[in-house]
Structure 1
């Protein structure tokens, strides 16, 4: 049976989701806002795919944007709800459950408020267990589909008259960039509901159990809180089954913001023959050792933790900071069809100038 999500689940979702954010941005405070609003206003319910009939509709709740704190973004909880309503209006049918495109500091909780208000269930399925730079990577195999999809976006800075409501139809690859543009025009961050698909398709193509994974990890982190940083890091390693590849200082950071709204570049940990290079495209996409040998590659979980056990995003890291580098191989997590799709990798390989698909699909 479904699990009613309660106040204690909010912090677990945020803390676990922050590790799976894989160096991505987003805001823990936005996640807490969504979660606490949901559990105080209603009874959001987390369900397994087996609780849906094959022909019931599942859509993806997402937040789209370049979450640099430099922009005047404004996104209210109600925007996530309105996005679902617009999608249902366009579809002409009710959506039974919402999945999410990825875990993250707030994205793990994207479906909770619509669940509390509209009664849509929070489906324990994700487009990708970890965070990723492009929507295609969480689109559960729809990236190159010619099928007409519906995508909606809602939100924006009200004071600057940037509030937008948008409904588009078309092949995912053609309409996704429209939502990215809308996000930019709205102030940099917008709520979205997209790609309604039958539960039978989601069962075959999503990474099932991805939200429970984040909750379980968050619960382990919270249980270790009182014992301090080392205990938290140990709990993260034990719960994920991963390992710490390095404990080192950030010795170089060369990350630039591109006109396509991506943060791209490298971070270097340590020096000399112990140095490791982390390749960044919003999130950590790969790690090489000093000899250029690949140690970790998306869709592996790659995260940086402070000595206090706090997951650090690319934006937070500065030269001179000491971090622990966590690696959880992809063999230990459920994988969706979109991370096994060769077509999602060229955009990242081009931006980073490295091979990813060889490793990701190997």
Structure 2
């Protein structure tokens, strides 16, 4: 049976999603806006993919852009709804459910408002348990496919005439960069609905249960809060089966540059000298390297910076002098989608970072 999402689920989704955001994943206030609007005007329903017919259409509700950017973005709840409507019009058939490309501060809730308004159900599946820089990484194995897909984008800063509506068809790997360009032109962040596939395909290729895992993590965080920050940190580590690679480490450098492709790229350094850890960033944390050059963590591992009170910090929130914990969750303990096992998604990311990612991500 499906689960009707309510007001108490909104905060749990934002809190759990913020950990899985891996330094990116949107804005918490944007997530609360989406969730509260959804539960106020309707009854968004979370269902497992098994509750859909194999032939039902499932599309991915996404937000595209650079979460740490300081660009003049504007995205409204209606933009997510319009993106779904444009995709349904182009498809010529109704969409039964919406999954999300990744968990995150707001992205865990991307499908809730269309569910409340249009009746599309929130499918308990994600393209990636954690947030990632490119749409192809959350495309559940479609990135290298030559099959034409439909993608839509809606949003933009209305005050400076940046509002965009777009419907595009083509092979996923070819059209996804166009949506990133649209995100940049709109002000840095844009709503999208894309890649309609059958529920049977989602069952075989998505990371199933990803929304429920974010909700249960958020519930654990909220339950621990009355006991203080240390209890919250402990609750997070236990819930995700992770470890802390640094405890109260000092942020000593933040070197991030926003690019025209709507990416934030660079490094964050925590600690000094032999104890320093370098976190490599492409919107999110993609790898950690020790002072002596050892790779300690690599995508699709979950890498998150937490305050000593257990609050997840995005890359854009970090400043030199801050004290942070670094949470690491290896890929072996999280559900993995076909998207993160797709070799075609890694070359652009490796080129931007100057690091090997695929060697680890594709290893058994």
Q: Same fold (TM over 0.5)?
A: yes
Paired residue secondary structure (2:160) = coil
CA separation in 1, counterparts of 2:226 and 2:123?
Answer: 32
Q: Which runs of structure 2 are paired with 1:254-269 in the superposition (5 Å)?
A: 254-269=255-270
The gaps in structure 2 that reach 5 residues or longer are none
CA separation in 1, counterparts of 2:163 and 2:315?
Answer: 28
Which region of structure 1 is more displaced relative to structure 2, 221-230 or 4-13? 221-230
Normalised TM-score (structure 1): 0.98
CA separation in 2, counterparts of 1:166 and 1:208?
Answer: 29
Which residue is equivalent to 1:105? 105
Q: Indicate whether 1:70 and 2:70 are aligned.
A: yes
What is the Cα deviation at residue 261 of structure 1?
2.1
Q: Indicate whether 1:140 and 2:140 are aligned.
A: yes
What is the Cα deviation at residue 194 of structure 1?
0.3
Which 4+ stretches in 1 moved above 4 angstroms?
A: none
How many residue pairs are counted as aligned between the two chains?
Answer: 362
CA separation in 1, counterparts of 2:270 and 2:177?
Answer: 34
Paired residue secondary structure (1:39) = helix
Which region of structure 1 is more displaced relative to structure 2, 171-180 or 119-128? 171-180
CA separation in 2, counterparts of 1:70 and 1:310?
Answer: 21
Normalised TM-score (structure 2): 0.97
CA contact under 8 A between 2:69 and 2:264: conserved in structure 1? no
Q: Structure 1's 78 and 8: CA in aligned 2 closer, same or farther, altered over 3 A?
A: same
Q: Indicate whether 1:322 and 2:323 are aligned.
A: yes
Which residue is equivalent to 1:42? 42
CA separation in 2, counterparts of 1:294 and 1:38?
Answer: 42
CA separation in 1, counterparts of 2:212 and 2:77?
Answer: 22
Which residue is equivalent to 2:130? 130
RMSD of aligned Cα (Å): 1.1
Which residue is equivalent to 2:214? 214
> What do residues 169-227 of structure 1 show as CA deviations (whole Å, max 9, x unaligned)?
11111111221222222222111100000111111110000000100000000001111
Q: Which runs of structure 2 are paired with 1:302-313 in the superposition (5 Å)?
A: 302-313=303-314
What is the Cα deviation at residue 353 of structure 1?
1.3
CA separation in 2, counterparts of 1:167 and 1:111?
Answer: 19
Q: Structure 1's 91 and 75: CA in aligned 2 closer, same or farther, altered over 3 A?
A: same
CA separation in 2, counterparts of 1:186 and 1:256?
Answer: 19
CA separation in 1, counterparts of 2:102 and 2:237?
Answer: 20
> What do residues 17-46 of structure 1 show as CA deviations (whole Å, max 9, x unaligned)?
000000115210000000000001000000
CA separation in 2, counterparts of 1:252 and 1:162?
Answer: 33
CA separation in 1, counterparts of 2:277 and 2:73?
Answer: 34
Paired residue secondary structure (2:197) = strand
Q: Which runs of structure 2 are paired with 1:259-338 in the superposition (5 Å)?
A: 259-338=260-339
Q: Which runs of structure 2 are paired with 1:142-157 in the superposition (5 Å)?
A: 142-157=142-157
CA separation in 1, counterparts of 2:43 and 2:25?
Answer: 28
> What do residues 307-326 of structure 1 show as CA deviations (whole Å, max 9, x unaligned)?
11110111111111110000
CA separation in 1, counterparts of 2:359 and 2:222?
Answer: 37
Which residue is equivalent to 1:251? 252
What is the Cα deviation at residue 68 of structure 1?
4.5
CA separation in 1, counterparts of 2:257 and 2:189?
Answer: 19
Q: Indicate whether 1:22 and 2:22 are aligned.
A: yes
